[in-house]
Amino acid sequence: MLLSHRARLFELWRIAATYRIDTHLAIEEAPQLQPLARLIRMHPAAWGKKHQPNAIKYAIEDMGTLFLKLGQLLSTRRDLVPPEIIEQLVQLQDKVKPFDADVAIAQIQDSKHGLGKSIENLFARFDVKPLAAASIAQVHTAAMHDGREVVVKVVRPDIRTTIVTDFELLLELANWASARIEAARAVHIIDIVEDYRQVMLNELDLTLEADNTIQMRNNFLGSALMYVPEVYDAAKNVMVMERIQGVPISQIEVFDKLGYDRAALAKKGLTIFFTQVFRDNFFHADMHPGNVFVETPSLTTMNADAPAVDLGHEPRYIGLDCAIMGTLSKEDQLIVARMLLAVMNDNFTAMVDIVSRAGWIPPSADKHALMRDMKRTVGPMLNKPINDIDFAGVLMQILDIARRHHMSIPPQLMLLLKTLVHVEGLGRDLYPDLDIWSLAKPILSNWIKEQLDPMRNLQQLRQQLPEILLSTTDIPKLLDQGLQSLASQGSRQDSQLREIQQIRADMLNDRRRDWMALAGFGLSIAVATQVVGWLAPLFYIMAILAIIWRVLA
């Protein structure tokens, strides 16, 4: 296994050198990257090669799915990544190198993991040129025999092996970091890697994505916020769903051309996020621009000079690629909501109390120091628009505070934090002056009031009453089982006590015999030494003392 990890590291080194990605690194602004650049230049694949356009994009494509996901995350962070690199990373959202259409068709027709029918039987038309290609799958357009326009999503062939190998390597690095870096332990880095590995492997099964899409569609059925396309058919490697008319959230110039209110769109997007997290407890955890679309009247309006056709309603978001979804326990939901609300109210004392009651900090932690550090780090964010908030930077500072105060952040919350990084990046591009706090505060306040509403809790109790009443029929049986268990346990304890007492008695008898033997031996020696008169009293005394000691013991 170690050899395969080394081979993978050498492969990544070779790819980085082949595309000379060292020439794209901003060494002047980030001198800490200098050792990495030197290492890349040392590889023979880099010798004689110069700066190459789009090298970052091509290198990440060759490195595999895990690096594509990282590139997609960074593509939303114009505040962290230089513009020339952002232009390359944006292409990773839906312009990854496609695989051959014949392979896609074979996957679709496969009887085990595909739909098990010929393309001709499945579709009246199938377009061999992909509409889009992403890290996990690519999408082809088609038409059903009844005239419905659809998209066909097909998983990339043979990517599971690469994903498994990369995560094994990543897990080794996580173990190394957890053993040496306190911050890594504070965020449960090993658990995060393990959880995300399972998330990525689940993403390869399109039947799971189909189920998620159906659930998300039901959550927003008839909503003015978001539309989720209908799923028509699905197998492990193939999914067929309704084709929609829309453009990625990153195409701001299209929204301006269509006359869309970008501020309203940004508010609607943030409302969708909080609705998913708190109302539905089922949130999209992979919200890069390639997965977030906005309705348009017609695809032709993007390139036409004619006035845009009215949708007939305010444009909605379109939910796509529901492969990675997040959920929180009810307890964690309430903790997160109360923490955010305490921060929005500038009440960091309450926030620290919430964290303490949740068991995220040890009893010995200095709560006043933690409150002071959080206020200094998070407080300045409260009066800033989204464009002035360095969320990723603040998140790193919070993790550093967690390390210093031995705070333990539950792994399930890290997926939510990842989603927040995506959401903030999307909002920053769409409408930089968005005030996320004034929008989020009433949503959170209303949700918490609903959770604590006595009438709501009474209604829930009323709904659960039949189940509770049915469960009471088991009480006599449970009581009888409990009494039998106690009786059985009592008899076992009595038996064990008798055995222990017997063992103790046997040990005492053995000790008495040992001491009596010693006393007898002493008397024998004393009798035998009568000829030496001055030794006799000494042996008599030894024998008597041994007998007395045994009796007293």
- Of 94, 286, 373, 429, the catalytic one is 286
Across 68-82, 118-132, 492-506, which has the greatest mean pLDDT? 118-132
Higher-confidence position of 216 and 303: 216
Q: Which residues contact 71 (CB under 8 A, 6 or more apart)?
A: 56, 57, 60, 89, 92
The residues that bridge with 132 in the sheet, in sequence order, are: 139
Q: 12-18 long-range contacts, Cβ below 8 Å, gap at least 24?
A: 12/63, 13/39, 13/40, 13/43, 14/43, 14/45, 15/59, 15/62, 15/63, 16/40, 16/43, 16/59, 17/41, 17/43, 17/44, 17/45, 17/46, 18/45, 18/46, 18/49, 18/59, 18/62
**Cβ count within 10 A of residue 92:** 25
Lookup result for tokens 């088991």: 474
Query: According to the model, what pLDDT value does residue 299 have?
Result: 46
- Is pLDDT at 344 greater than 60 in this prediction? yes
390 is annotated as an active-site residue: no
Is 92:61 a contact under the CB 8 Å cutoff?
yes
Please say if the pLDDT value at position 209 is more than 90: yes
Q: Provide the pLDDT confidence category of residue 550 given band limits of 50, 70 and 90.
A: very low
Out of 43-47, 72-76, 104-108, 248-252, pick the least confident. Answer: 72-76
pLDDT at 108: 95
Residue that has been written with the tokens 């995300």 in this structure = 196
Give me the pLDDT at residue 496, please.
Answer: 62
Q: In this predicted model, what pLDDT tens digit does every residue of 358-377 receive, in sequence order?
A: 888 888 888 999 999 888 88
* Residue 3's pLDDT band (cuts 50, 70, 90): very low
The answer to whether 526 and 539 have CB atoms below 8 angstroms apart is yes
CA 485, chain centre distance (Å): 42
pTM: 0.66
Helix H, strand E, coil C: the string for 175-219 is HHHHHHCHHHHHCCHHHHHHHHHHHHHHHCCHHHHHHHHHHHHHH
Give the pLDDT of residue 232. 96
- The mean pLDDT of 513-531, rounded to a whole number, is 52
What pLDDT, on the 0 to 100 scale, is given for residue 212?
Answer: 94
Both tokens of residue 256?
């301006």
Give SS3 for 360: coil
Residue 141 backbone phi and psi in degrees, to 5: -90, 155
What DSSP element (H or E) covers 169?
A: helix 160-180
Highest mean pLDDT among 213-217, 476-480, 508-512: 213-217
More confident residue, 459 or 17: 17
- 533 versus 301: the higher-pLDDT residue is 533
